[in-house]
Structure 1
Amino acid sequence: MKVPRLKSPPESSAQSLVLERFAPEETFKTKVYAALKHAIINMDIYGSSEPTWIDERQLSEKLGVSRTPVREAVAMLEQEGFVKSLPRRGIMVLKKTKSEVVEMIQAWAALESMAARLVVQRATDAEIGTLRTLFKDFNDAHKPSDHLNEYSDTNVVFHQTLIGLSRSQLLVDMTDNLLLHVRGIRQMTIGRDDRASRSIVDHLKIIEALERRDMVQAEQLSRDHALGLAAYVDEHADIFD
């Protein structure tokens, strides 16, 4: 008795079956890396002339993991220039020199001005409105110069939100690597020479340009605002004393 041969399925049916690979689960290393990087970015490393140290054993205990993923995450952060491991001393969060900080702020100016351009193209009116809401509590009775800590935090959130509204993950990632230093320098300088009062004026002008969908003006104002900080840092070496 002959066994009938099974016909192969038509080629088109195989081609119509589209499958995607499962996303691999995060490893302990990547989780520790993300948590540690976030914590470092939010440190105020320029608030003191003393170096900032990280303890590997404490990290391991606080995160509830062994030291191996901590060491792997630290190695990744060291490659990115965030930290440096020193034998028999520990892990030091790296500060930058004045010239390095000026270059970083200049790079930030280029990235944020592009972000402003993309915000005009991509963000909704409501999303742009969130930028104005950040400053709603500041007025003549509640001046930025009289509430420096509060305004300094709002200042950083403004810049992070502006970058985020660009909907460019690459811009977000690139500015994250600059944020540790740019954020610290902004906090150091915001209380000097009435910079807080001028800062909020700059921010509101940027928001107005975004609301008008004036791409060229929004881009220029964002760039000039950041370059103003770079020029100030360049002129005041005592910031790093």
Structure 2
Amino acid sequence: MAPKIQARWPIADESTPELVLERFSPEQTYKTKVYTALKHAIANMDIYSSPEPTWIDERQLSERLGVSRTPVREAIAMLEQQGFVKSLPRRGIIVLKKTKREVIEMIQAWAALESMAVRLICQRASDREIARLRTIFQEFNDAHKPADYPHEYSTANIRFHQTMIELSGSQILAEMTENLVLHVRGIRQITIGRDDRASKSIVDHLNIIEALEKRDIAKAEAYARDHTLGLADYVAKHSEGIFD
């Protein structure tokens, strides 16, 4: 009988090459944190409410965030690559607005992504999760009409659309819509108070919710898509003061 050979695993000190790892520096760690904080702040800016440009100051950001200017500069460079801001020599950093055509195309893209989101909600979300959508509008009724409280309703409106993306359970959809939020959100806020659009908007939302509750994918997709494309059509026809 051949002698039994006992396996011997190599000892790390003998054969494993030393891994060359660099310790994370505070600047590298802060860059990601600063980027996330700054992107969130920009997404919540109301940049379309005024024709005046919106500027951000690197030094002030550094002071308010309590970090050096290096991670702030790096975060701004990342945001510039994504088309959120632009650094102008000797002038500062401007938050970029889109043209009318670009905004319409972004809304159209949002409509396509949101129609897929409602399909996924029908397939994946629980009844309890879908019920969250109704609670967003529970304060609005005949005595508390959306048209009479446009700012309040605008906030609920944005939360409704963001919640639908969340309930889809798709991280990819969340990432794809993230960069659209700044512009689509801003346009929704401005237009919701015009031409009694808030009254029609809440009816559209309730139709979407009812279709989701019934797991009617075809109707949910159609309602969601038509609702958002209605915003694109409105912007195409009534964008005075927004892009002028």
Q: Normalised by the size of structure 2, how large is the TM-score?
A: 0.89
Question: What is the deviation of 1:49?
Answer: 0.8
Distance 1:109 1:203 in 2: 14
Letter in 1 for 2:173: L
In the alignment, what sits opposite 2:13? none
In the alignment, what sits opposite 1:8? 7
Distance 2:193 2:239 in 1: 16
In the alignment, what sits opposite 1:240? 243
CA deviations 1:32-54 (Å, max 9, x no partner) are: 11010000001100111110000
Q: Stretches of 4+ moved more than 2 A in 1?
A: none
Distance 1:54 1:94 in 2: 11
In the alignment, what sits opposite 1:29? 31
Question: What is the deviation of 1:28?
Answer: 1.1
In the alignment, what sits opposite 1:144? 146
In the alignment, what sits opposite 1:55? 57
Question: What is the deviation of 1:6?
Answer: 8.3
Distance 2:65 2:170 in 1: 30
Gaps of 5+ in 1: 11-23
Question: What is the deviation of 1:27?
Answer: 1.7
Paired residue secondary structure (2:94): strand
Distance 1:170 1:66 in 2: 33
Question: What is the deviation of 1:240?
Answer: 2.1
Question: What is the deviation of 1:9?
Answer: 5.2
Question: What is the deviation of 1:236?
Answer: 1.5
1:207 matches 2:209 = yes
In the alignment, what sits opposite 1:84? 86
Distance 2:239 2:228 in 1: 18
Q: Provide the identity percentage.
A: 72
Note the aligned Cα RMSD (angstroms): 1.6
Paired residue secondary structure (2:208): helix
Aligned length: 224
Distance 2:91 2:194 in 1: 35
Work out which of the residue numbers 45, 66, 72 in structure 1 matches 2:68: 66
Distance 1:9 1:113 in 2: 58
CA deviations 1:46-79 (Å, max 9, x no partner) are: 1111100001001111111111111111010001
